[in-house]
Amino acid sequence: MPRPHEALRARLGAAEPLNSALLTIPDPGVAEVLSTSGFDVVIIDGEHGAFTLESMRDCLAAVTLGSAYVVVRVGGHGEVPITSALELGIDGVMVPCVDTAAEAARIVRFARYPPEGTRGVGISRATGYGTDLSARVERANAATAVMVMIESRAVVENADAIAAVGGVDALVVGPVDLAIEMGLSIGTSSDVVDSSYQRVIDAARHSGISAGVGGDPGVWRGRGASFFMTFIDVVSLASAARTEAVGLRSVIDL
């Protein structure tokens, strides 16, 4: 399947509906399955997944056999994790636990080449290993997406300011951390959870960028969200395995 021609950043800016799968298992085969299954985006989980840069590179090569965009959820706000991921030649970064507009602005600078940022030019996969270097660097700022995660109730109050930072392409609610921070069970639905989601969505829409959620797309698409995180490889594998094991036990115990 061909790779998409339009940059992910442009599609986020247009708030097009996109569905994504989270890759936590550092295996190229799993990466290829996700990329060829119809998801718009595969997110390589460099925050919680057991990835090295080498295994990220191998999974990235597998993802590009399909038609999905590739985003890396990096392990922190620092320049090194952001630029190291970008040197792999990905479509964007997702940065967790962004608390303020100042943090978001620093992240954007790390992800952009001068004059928009401070990213250094490397001879890497991102620059075609030096082939057509100037053109690739010039295109990168316009094409590379920066997605920031809102993961606490207090930070929800800063959503408007974070969304207004130039170069931020999406606000993404971190549903698990947000629920835990609120003292709720994971997956709990409540008025405070719904209002927090809506506050982030409204902030993103007001700034003309995409809003991402991990909740039910059937609910949140109608309320303004456009980026959806609904599939996690290891969660789906565990669920399928348990269901299969219970079914088999009921047969062999007859």
Structural domains of the chain, with CATH = 8-252 (3.20.20.60)
Quick: pLDDT tens for 113-137: 999 999 999 999 999 898 888 888 8
Closest CA to 18 of 32, 31, 4, 2: 4
Among 85-94, 109-118, 189-198, 226-235, which is the least confidently predicted range? Answer: 189-198
Confidence (pTM) = 0.93
pLDDT of res. 238: 95
State the pLDDT at residue 182: 67
- Given 5, 48, 77, 206, the catalytic residue: 48
**Nearest-5° Cα angle at 166, 162 to 167:** 100
Q: Is the pLDDT of residue 2 over 60?
A: no
What integer pLDDT is reported at residue 189 of this predicted model? 66
Q: For 210-228, what is each residue's pLDDT tens digit? A: 999 987 888 899 999 999 9
- Which of 129-133, 142-146, 169-173, 219-223 comes out lowest in average pLDDT? 129-133
- Whether 48 sits among the annotated catalytic residues: the reply is yes
Q: Which residues fall within 8 angstroms of residue 140, CB to CB, at 6 or more apart?
A: 112, 113, 126
Stretch 230-251: mean pLDDT, rounded?
92
Q: Is the pLDDT of residue 8 over 90?
A: yes
Q: What is the mean pLDDT of residues 27-34?
A: 97
